[in-house]
Structure 1
Amino acid sequence: MASNSELACVYASLILHDDGVEVTGEKISSLISAAKVDIEPFWAGLFAKALEGRNIGDLVSNIGSASAAPAAATSAAAAPAAAEEKKAEKAPESDPESDDDMGFGLFD
């Protein structure tokens, strides 16, 4: 479970990103102190370092995916095989023992 310090840094980072401001430890700290939230001093620098060089918009849009890049590569490689499987599934074979073939249904 995330601590209040972690959540404050996450929200501050998202606010800075949304405003188009560079995410730095100093800016995270100043935003958090303006909100009158007490955090350990290392959190702001830790978050700034973790987000350095990353596209925060991509991180936000990929929430919930364990690893977006390997998953995308795997799905791209599996796409032709999946298309062939769908073609095979489209040709339904009649089951000789289905109720429709026997002349009665659920509401007859």
Structure 2
Amino acid sequence: MSAELAVVYAALILEDDNVEITADKLQTLVAAAGVEVEPIWFSLYAKALAGQDLKALLLNVGAPGSGPAVAAGGAAAGAAADAPAAEEKVEEKEESDDDMGFGKF
């Protein structure tokens, strides 16, 4: 088992028990599992997961509309419809090979 995976599993165990995720608690769980992990991983994961709701993150992975566009409602849908038109305009302005002198050969 990789070190990162062991720390992630420990974080999921803590979240499932509604226990605050701290570096010390992560380290205790990983040590109890008998997995050797460098100490830096515990503090990195504890900082990254501080204030996050892991249950909500796990339940919404891959869910349609889980991105920020849903929060904006209809305005985001209108902006998304305008995006392809903006991309087409950018492509029209690009120079062709002939304009740069490559067509002479």
Q: Unmatched 5+ residue regions in structure 1?
A: 82-108
Residue 79 of structure 1 and its aligned partner are, at CA, apart by 9.4
Structure with greater helix percent: 2
> Which structure 2 residues correspond to residues 70-89 of structure 1 after superposition, within 5 A?
70-73=68-71, 76-77=73-74
Q: Unmatched 5+ residue regions in structure 2?
A: 79-105
Identity of aligned residues (%): 47
Larger radius of gyration: 1
Cα root mean square deviation, aligned: 2.6
The one-letter amino acid paired with 1:25 is: A
TM-score norm. by structure 1 comes to 0.61
Instruction: Kindly report structure 1 stretches of 4+ aligned residues shifted beyond 6 Å.
Output: 78-81
Residue 63 of structure 1 and its aligned partner are, at CA, apart by 2.1
TM-score norm. by structure 2 comes to 0.62
CA distance, structure 2, for counterparts of residue 49 and residue 80 of structure 1: 34
Residue 59 of structure 1 and its aligned partner are, at CA, apart by 1.3
Residue 80 of structure 1 and its aligned partner are, at CA, apart by 8.6
Q: Does 1:12 align with 2:10?
A: yes
Query: How many pairs were matched up?
Result: 77
